[in-house]
Structure 1
Amino acid sequence: MNIIERINAVTNSAPNSKAYTINGESHSYEELKKRSDAMAFYLVNTAKLKRGTPIVIFGGKQFEMIVSFLGAIKAGHPYIPVDSHTPLARLEQILAVSKPQLIIAVEDLPSDLNVVSKIVSIKELKEIVSSNCVEIPLEQAINKDETFYIIFTSGTTGVPKGVEISHDNLVSFSEWLLNDFDLGTGKNFLDQAPYSFDLSVMNLYPSLLSGGNLVPLDKETTLNFKSLFEKLPGMALDVWVSTPSFADICLMDKAFNEANYPNLQRFLFCGEELTLKTATKLIERFPKAAIYNTYGPTEATVAVTQVLITEEIVNKYARLPIGRVKEDTEIIIVDDQLQPVPTGEIGEMIILGPAVSRGYLENPEKTAESFVLINGQHAYRTGDLGKFEKDLLFYQGRKDFQLKFNGYRIELEDIDHHLEKVSFVQRASVVPKMLNHKVQNLIAYVVAKPHEFEKNNQLTQAIKAELAPLVMDYMIPGRWVYVDQLPLSANGKVDRKALINEVNK
């Protein structure tokens, strides 16, 4: 499969069918093709960028985002999606690592961003994509093992890592989605996850490759439950893609059920653990729908396992399986010496196969740490613990202190790193509060510097005000504990495990 060729075939067979519907306004496949062709023409003939250099695309849930994604690919450039809610410091780090020659600003960039790249503003973008132009030859497009997109994830040193996903990585993932999940054609897909979060790939390309219609939810609606519950029923969704946490929010609305969502026949969950509680509620509310639990890291192209969650599975297991490994992929469970453990024993999950990324952009050191050769094959060390029971895989937590919270992958050391930049903080260690094997909250243990605040909540507000511009909002702890000193392990490092045990006892 060639991604662009397949989307072109969908367009040729049904040019007027809906590709993207936002706030009641629909855009057809023909419009998507013409506009992305115009963008590609501009990149090749006017911008004249060197083929293969990455382009940053900054924005939210606008139609121009996917126009720009496809335009970049057609012109031979991988794209880097950056959400418009990204803090300035993180945005600067992403630009420092990726060094893009061009930024497409679908939304205005922060006014205080220091940038040397050429910027295409939304005004210029609309002029570019409205122009008539000739189609760029397919040979120019990203193909085979060339990088298709780069998504930045949290890094232990406070510097985000850019995961490079190739065209063939994406083909491996997309063919599996289309073949194994019975998604059908021409369906309405929920498009809720930010494009900077690789969960969005689970709805974006399966929809475009099957003649589907992406129905996006912007962040403002997602955060306003009243607006969310009012808007969702009118979206006429057939396929639901989200984290379990987002489904939990929607389940708060008693009207979130089969009667009010008669077309909703497929739920696909990824990004964090699907709990028994959430799955049970969904089966009760949507008894005829197929509910899939999936698992995979960004470095293996979104997901590599799936299982249909039935009443039988819910009744059989205290902790839900993450599924069976897709046909072209292998997961082995190993010990600390990377030797396979016996079936049923817990070890680190290693992923091998055509969906595994080549590594991190401009970061050979981190690439060498996480990507290894196993039996002569390129493989990714997930840092996730798992075990097999027959052919079913079960997630058993993190090997280190990286975790998923509301679907977002977070390095606890990343938050510590930024917290210790705050003027009121001497030392800090952030730990997760767990409930039913799922992160419920982030707790910050802080040794504060001398200050003049009378109450701890005043100190907390001051710390959060300094932290907010440095990290994503989902990385800001929800509870704060002030201590004279942090516990230390025998080798003199902060004993995070002791804090985790204290929080979760």
Structure 2
Amino acid sequence: MNCVLDRLEATVSRYKERAAVDDGSVSYTWGELQELAQRIGSALCRKHVIRKPVAVVMDKSADTLAAFLGVVYAGAFYVLINPEYPNVRIEKILATLQTDQMILDMQYEEKMRACGYQGNMIPIEAAKQTDIDFVSLDRVRVQSVDQDLLYGIFTSGSTGMPKGVIVNQRAVVDFIEQFAKTFDFSECDVIGNQAPFDFDVSVKDIYTSIFTGAKLVLIPKQMFSMPPSLLDFLCEKHVTSLTWAVSALCMVTTLRGFEYRVPSEVRRVLFSGEVMPYKHLKAWREALPAAEFVNLYGPTEIVCNCTYYRVRGDEPEDAALPIGSAFGNRLVFLLDDQNCVIRDAGVQGEICVAGTSLASGYYNNPQATEKSFVQNPENQSYPQVIYRTGDIGTYNDEGLLCFAGRRDFQVKRMGHRIELEEIQLTLDQTEGVTRSCCIYGEQEQKLVAFYVGEIDKKELRRKVKEQMPAFMLPDKFLHMDEMPMTKNGKIDRAALWNHYREEKRR
């Protein structure tokens, strides 16, 4: 079964009356979710959308999940457009996507028209009432192959134009099979979803639930600024598994949420996106001593994750966690500047990935696709595509892969090559600092440390100076009440740098 609908229907046949998804307001059983998806798919079939993109403009909800699956039933692939995006970004996405079909909550009709969309709009409420056309759905189904696209997710592009990462069904099936098996997910799990649906972490939540029959609970966004409400929600919904951004986990511990309540049924905490600060990981492990903690790694282009590391508890406090070993059916390796494979410990190289769970490329962007999805330089005998992540890695003495930074975050200062993550790690380990970020401005030639915490700036500078050479010491330390975050739950570096420039002008 290499189609996600095969997996959905297998789950429906086993657990039809069991809860499938709960968004805090609406809950559907597996049977109800499938019926809604077939209704939405039937509405789309009339528009002849096979192998075309369909935009979905809705807030995260149980109905949004039904819309995704409805698009798949119609033989198309879905692209969520977050209605909270600025109009300028939506305009750029629509320009790349060139779709003429959109499913939406009609409260966003005016916004989409203002963004220049001139195609057909299908109100989600109307689509949910459409009679199921089994003949049309079957006609679409027999034409499908496992290389058909499943979804697209837009990421930032260096040119200022967002890049649409497109992923086929086979890639998702292969990854989720490995992911669910590796971490022993089952129909008994309750998955607490934190990630927005336009962020690929949500792909793990959605499809692990569909493949295993686990219940998917969509956590309301506003709860992540209110730890007591969030922890009450996790307990009341009996959540057993969290696959969250590091920033979401850090928010709970920074605001001392566990002093209020511990979600004791959680048995699995998986995290990714940024380096997990030791003090926050320690607080989570102390609150949930029986839970498994796992560090995940992988960019959107390789379908969620390609490596994982199970936290043992004996890791040194002064080093970042390894990103570990490859998932099954993945080839993860390091290439040096001469495109030779690195096998020795301690030698840095670019992290590269091969296997069936790679994205198909970037939608309507062959130049970017050809740049990042390339022939394996170690194999000149037959075609073998790899993805060059742009991340730098190295092996430790145990043979585990360790993240050493982005090429983007490597800077030259005073003649020395500096990894900004190394400075950030030192900051994070300093008593009185709860979160930090270090940025180097090429134009200003300034290294600036931003931090959240109780420590005074002068004291922080003194402590950091004791631990690193002068060429790594930030020029300026700026205290923040909180870190600005991107929509994907990562620290917003652009917003931080704008803050620095505003401080300079004062």
TM-score (norm 2): 0.78
Q: Tell which deviates more after alignment, 356-365 or 214-223.
A: 214-223
**CA distance 1:272–1:106, change in 2 (3 Å):** farther
CA contact (8 A) 1:275 1:436 kept: yes
- Per-residue deviation, residues 17-51 of structure 1 (Å, max 9, x unmatched): 0111122542100000101011111111x2233x1
How far residue 226 of structure 1 moved from its aligned partner, in angstroms, is 5.4
* 2:326 pairs with 1:325: yes
* 2:410 pairs with 1:391: no
Whole-angstrom CA distance in 1 between matches of 2:41 and 2:199: 24
**CA distance 1:3–1:122, change in 2 (3 Å):** closer
User: SS state of the match for residue 323, structure 2?
Assistant: coil
CA contact (8 A) 1:164 1:357 kept: yes
What's 1:197 paired with?
A: 199
The structure 2 residue matched to 1:440, chosen from 427, 436, 446, is: 436
**CA distance 1:233–1:216, change in 2 (3 Å):** same
What's 1:235 paired with?
A: 237
Q: Which has the higher contact order (CA 8 A, sep 6+)?
A: 1
Whole-angstrom CA distance in 2 between matches of 1:221 and 1:259: 14
* 2:9 pairs with 1:8: yes
**CA distance 1:63–1:475, change in 2 (3 Å):** farther
Whole-angstrom CA distance in 2 between matches of 1:88 and 1:433: 37
**CA distance 1:258–1:340, change in 2 (3 Å):** farther
What's 1:477 paired with?
A: 495
Whole-angstrom CA distance in 2 between matches of 1:353 and 1:156: 26
Whole-angstrom CA distance in 2 between matches of 1:433 and 1:127: 55
Whole-angstrom CA distance in 1 between matches of 2:20 and 2:442: 49
What's 2:48 paired with?
A: 48
How far residue 187 of structure 1 moved from its aligned partner, in angstroms, is 1.3
TM-score (norm 1): 0.78
User: SS state of the match for residue 311, structure 1?
Assistant: coil
The structure 2 residue matched to 1:218, chosen from 211, 217, 220, is: 220
Q: Tell which deviates more after alignment, 431-440 or 384-393.
A: 431-440
Structure 1 unaligned residues grouped into runs of 5+: 404-430, 449-467, 486-505
Whole-angstrom CA distance in 2 between matches of 1:215 and 1:167: 23
CA contact (8 A) 2:224 2:251 kept: no
CA contact (8 A) 1:258 1:286 kept: no
Whole-angstrom CA distance in 1 between matches of 2:259 and 2:389: 35
How far residue 285 of structure 1 moved from its aligned partner, in angstroms, is 1.1
- Per-residue deviation, residues 419-467 of structure 1 (Å, max 9, x unmatched): xxxxxxxxxxxx999621788348696999xxxxxxxxxxxxxxxxxxx
Whole-angstrom CA distance in 1 between matches of 2:134 and 2:410: 47
Count the aligned residue pairs.
432
CA contact (8 A) 2:200 2:300 kept: yes
* 2:288 pairs with 1:269: no
The structure 1 residue matched to 2:384, chosen from 377, 397, 414, is: 377
- Per-residue deviation, residues 283-321 of structure 1 (Å, max 9, x unmatched): 111110011111011000000111110212x24872211
CA contact (8 A) 1:75 1:141 kept: no
How far residue 254 of structure 1 moved from its aligned partner, in angstroms, is 4.1
**CA distance 1:349–1:279, change in 2 (3 Å):** same
What's 1:247 paired with?
A: 249
CA contact (8 A) 1:144 1:168 kept: yes
Whole-angstrom CA distance in 1 between matches of 2:116 and 2:124: 19
What's 1:409 paired with?
A: none
**CA distance 1:293–1:141, change in 2 (3 Å):** farther
CA contact (8 A) 2:424 2:438 kept: no
**CA distance 1:291–1:153, change in 2 (3 Å):** same
Structural RMSD (CA): 3.1
User: SS state of the match for residue 436, structure 1?
Assistant: helix
How far residue 269 of structure 1 moved from its aligned partner, in angstroms, is 1.1
Amino acid at match of 1:478: L
What's 2:69 paired with?
A: 70
**CA distance 1:24–1:98, change in 2 (3 Å):** closer
Q: Equivalent residues in 2 for 1:33-432 (5 A)?
A: 33-44=34-45, 46-49=46-49, 51-106=50-105, 108-109=107-108, 110=111, 112-128=114-130, 131-134=131-134, 136-137=137-138, 139-140=141-142, 142-225=144-227, 227-256=229-258, 260-312=262-314, 314-315=315-316, 318-344=319-345, 345-374=347-376, 375=379, 376-389=383-396, 390-401=398-409
Whole-angstrom CA distance in 2 between matches of 1:207 and 1:141: 26
Whole-angstrom CA distance in 1 between matches of 2:228 and 2:299: 32
Amino acid at match of 2:97: S
Identity among equivalent positions (%) equals 26
Whole-angstrom CA distance in 1 between matches of 2:275 and 2:438: 16
Whole-angstrom CA distance in 1 between matches of 2:348 and 2:330: 20
How far residue 165 of structure 1 moved from its aligned partner, in angstroms, is 0.7
What's 1:493 paired with?
A: none
Structure 2 unaligned residues grouped into runs of 5+: 412-419, 429-434, 445-485
Whole-angstrom CA distance in 2 between matches of 1:238 and 1:224: 20
User: SS state of the match for residue 108, structure 1?
Assistant: helix
- Per-residue deviation, residues 463-483 of structure 1 (Å, max 9, x unmatched): xxxxx9xxx994651353349
Whole-angstrom CA distance in 2 between matches of 1:264 and 1:140: 41
Whole-angstrom CA distance in 2 between matches of 1:16 and 1:186: 14
Amino acid at match of 2:54: I
What's 1:490 paired with?
A: none
User: SS state of the match for residue 104, structure 1?
Assistant: strand
